[in-house]
Amino acid sequence: MQAVEQPTSASELRALAWTTLLVPVCTVYARSACRRLRPGRPRLAALFPTFLVFIYLPCLFNSLHLRLLSTFFHTWLATNKLVLLALGIGPLHPSLPVLPFVLCAGLPIKLRADVGHHQHPTEKQSSSPVADLLFPCARSFVFLTCLALLHPHTGFLPLYAVHYLYCAQIFLTLDLVFSSAGLVAAAALGTAMERQFRAPLVVASVNDFWGRQWNLMAVDLLRASAYAPVRARWGRDAGVLAAFLMSGVLHELLYWYMTLEHPTGEMLLFFTLHAAFHVAERWARAAGLWRPPKAAAYVLGTAFMVVTISELFFGPFIRAGIDVRMMQESAAAVELVRAVAKRLIIRPLGPVSA
């Protein structure tokens, strides 16, 4: 099967232009339709064309980073939000004003005021909605630049250490993009946004990672679309399995978008394994069988995450050469930033120093 073509500036700018046009049009149409139709089949039928648009949008991009983000933002999050909206549940509501509705539907953001009961007890409300997100943006940008510069010199590291750096790159990339999107939305709306990541690189347990550290917006959507309905009928453990299976299917779809190859099933196996450990860990804690010291819990939890991610999650992408190409794109981005900085800073100072 044909691989994704190499990106060019013209192709990616054209894709960004189409995305910038289509996402607001689809979300405004969805809001208008849902204001006139009752939840259920009427809304689903009216919103079906928007689902097709969001499913297709990642195919416009040749850059693997942009294709990854479009798959996550549009094919996964936006489509899921609109399906829940059609059913009358979820984070969106047609009574929202147009701008907040469009931003919340098309970007990975969540208004903190809407979900105050989910706010982490250690989170503090800043006096400025923008101030909360400035530091995460700057931190992630600096560390991503360091990782891109470090990558050519990691040949001597053990495999799991390299894969841990891959985990760090994924976290920092998503945190930078999510925080930047939240920063733009907070500036536009004057409302504080929830942080979607906390400290997922060192975790004490599977429950801690998936429930409180990693990609909390996806967790909330999986809770509403898979966990809650299945739990109501078959119990808590079945709900956990349903949420992880749905995540596994979505990651298999992500693999197809990134490689244009048939999924291998390893993503589904990865999330099934984590669902089993999620349930077993909770049972063991309830029975008093699993209460290790905090330091040991962090070592064991982090080791389990790195090993399973390395073997089952990264494996298909590495065999397809996705890791090499994404590192090349990261290095090219660093060179672009360096060239722009040189043009804006060094050249204007040249005549003065001369």
Choose the final residue of a domain: 80, 107, 134: 107
**Bridge partners, 111 (sequence order):** 193
Contacts of residue 94, defined as CB under 8 A and 6 or more positions apart, other chains included, come to: 31, 34, 35, 85, 101
**DSSP helix/strand/coil, 74:** helix
Whether 101 maps to a domain, the answer reads: yes
Q: 218 and 305 in one domain?
A: yes
DSSP label at residue 118 = G
- Which structural domain, as residue segments, surrounds residue 158? 124-197
Report the pLDDT value the prediction gives residue 113, as an integer from 0 to 100: 54
Examine the fold and report which residue of 107, 139, 172 is the final residue of a domain before the chain moves on: 107
Instruction: Give the per-residue pLDDT at 342.
Output: 75
CA 190, 214, 283, 272 dihedral sign is positive
Cβ-based neighbour number of residue 139 at 10 Å: 14
306 falls within a domain? yes
Q: What is the DSSP code (8-state) at residue 195?
A: -
* Length in residues, the chain: 354
167 with 265, same domain? no
Do 28 and 88 lie in a common domain? yes
Encode pLDDT of 24-36 as tens digits.
Answer: 999 999 999 999 9
71 with 20, same domain: the answer is: yes
Residues near 156 by beta carbon (within 8 Å), at least 6 away in sequence = none
Do 140 and 101 have their domain in common? no
252 and 155 inside one domain: no
- Residue pair 79/58 in contact (Cβ under 8 Å)? The answer is no
Question: Does 142 reside within a domain?
Answer: yes
- Weakly modelled stretches of the chain, pLDDT under 50: 114-126, 352-354
Q: Give the pLDDT of residue 85.
A: 93
Core vs surface per residue 201-237: b (16+ CB within 10 A) or e: bebbbbbbbbebbbbbbbbbbbebbbbeebbeeeeeb
How confident is the model at residue 292, as a pLDDT? 78
Q: Which residues of 94-125 are buried (b: 16+ CB within 10 A; e: fewer)?
A: bebeeebbbbbbbbbbbbbebeeeeeeeeeee
- Rounded Cα distance, 320 and 74, in Å: 24
Looking at residue 348, what is its pLDDT?
58
Q: What is the pLDDT of residues 205-262, one digit of tens each?
A: 888 888 777 888 888 899 999 999 999 999 999 999 999 999 999 999 999 999 888 8
Token pair recorded at residue 86: 């059609």
**Domain end: 197, 218, 244, which one?**
197
The reported pLDDT for the residue numbered 284 is 86
- The C-alpha atoms of residue 314 and residue 190 are separated, in whole angstroms, by 39
Count of domains observed in the chain: 3
Same domain, 189 and 215: no
Instruction: Say if 63 falls within a structural domain.
Output: yes
- Residue 256 sits in the same domain as residue 314: yes
| Same domain (yes/no): 136, 184 | yes
Residue 22, pLDDT score: 95
161 CB neighbour count, 10 Å cutoff: 12
303 and 259 share one domain: yes
Same domain, 148 and 162: yes
Region of 261 on the Ramachandran plot (φ > 0 left; ψ -120 to 50 alpha; else beta): beta
In a domain, 257, yes or no: yes
Distance, in Å, from the CA atom of 282 to the CA atom of 78, rounded to the nearest integer, reads 31
Cα pseudo-dihedral 211, 167, 110, 122, rounded to 10: 60
Asked, for residue 115, whether it belongs to a domain, the answer is: no
| Separation of alpha carbons 317 and 50, rounded Å | 29
Residue 147 inside a domain? The answer is yes
Predicted local distance difference test score (pLDDT) of residue 120:
46
Continuous H helices in 57-127: 64-70, 79-86, 98-106
DSSP-assigned letters across all residues of 256-291: HHHH-S---SHHHHHHHHHHHHHHHHHHHHHTT---
Residue 274 lies in a domain: yes
Name the residue type at position 348: P
The pLDDT of residue 121 = 41
* Same domain membership, residue 10 and residue 94: yes
Residue among 146, 136, 122, 123 at smallest CA distance from 175: 136
